Amino acid sequence: MTTTFAKTRREAAAWHLVDASDEVLGRMATRVARILQGKHKPIWTPHADTGDFVVVVNASKVQVTGRKADSKTYYDFSGYHGGLKETPYRRMAERRPTDIIRLAVRRMLPKTDLGRHMLTKLKVFAGPEHTHHAQDPKPLSLGTTRAARDAKKSKA
C-alpha cells in the first residue's frame, strides 16, 4: 500500500465565481475559505496548497445578521501607543467593502505562511465587474442567501 502526497500545482487549480449580493457574510466566508484551502477535494493535504481560486463580486451587497451592522467594529493597531484605530461596520462597508470579505476569509484560514499564500488566491470586487474573464471562472452557488433559506424552510 502506498501513500500519495499532493503537490501544489497552480495549473490544476480551478476558478470559481461567487456573487456576494444578499449572501450572509460569515456563511459565505466559510465556504470560500474551504475552497481556497482545497478541503472540497479528495486530494486535500494539510501541508500543500491544493485549493482553487475564488473571485467574489458584489462585495458591497453582502449582508450581516442580527445587530452586527450597528455593533461590529474592525480594529487596526499600528504598534505604537495610541495607534489603535476603530472602524464601525457601516463605515467600512461604505469605504472599503472588499476588505470586509477579505478579513472574514483571512481569519478562517490557517495563520501560517501557507494560509497567507492561500489568501492570494482570493480576488474580491465591490461591483459586478471583475478582471478575470480570461480565466473563465465557473459560477459557484453557495445556497446561503436569505431567500434560499426561506424557500428551504417553506418546503419543510
Domains of the chain: 14-66+95-155 (3.90.1180.10)
Residue 86 pLDDT exceeds 90: yes
How far apart, in Å, do the first and last CA atoms of the chain sit? 46
Over range 42-53, report the average pLDDT: 91
Tell me the helices (H) and strands (E) count for the chain, helix number first: 6, 6
Which residues fall within 8 angstroms of residue 40, CB to CB, at 6 or more apart? 34
Residue 62 CA to residue 31 CA, distance in Å, equals 14
In this prediction, residue 3 carries a pLDDT of: 78
Residue 82 CA to residue 131 CA, distance in Å, equals 39
- Which of 74-83 are b and which e, b meaning 16 or more Cβ less than 10 Å from the residue's Cβ? eeeeeeeeee
Over range 104-109, report the average pLDDT: 98
In this prediction, residue 149 carries a pLDDT of: 65
Residue 39 CA to residue 92 CA, distance in Å, equals 30
pTM score: 0.87
Residue 42 pLDDT exceeds 80: yes
Give the Å distances, CA to CA, from 58 to 2, 9, 23, 39, 62: 45, 29, 10, 25, 7
For 111-156, how does the pLDDT look when each residue is reduced to its tens digit (9 = 90+)? 999 999 999 999 999 999 999 999 999 999 887 666 666 777 777 6
In this prediction, residue 148 carries a pLDDT of: 67
For 18-36, how does the pLDDT look when each residue is reduced to its tens digit (9 = 90+)? 999 999 999 999 999 999 9
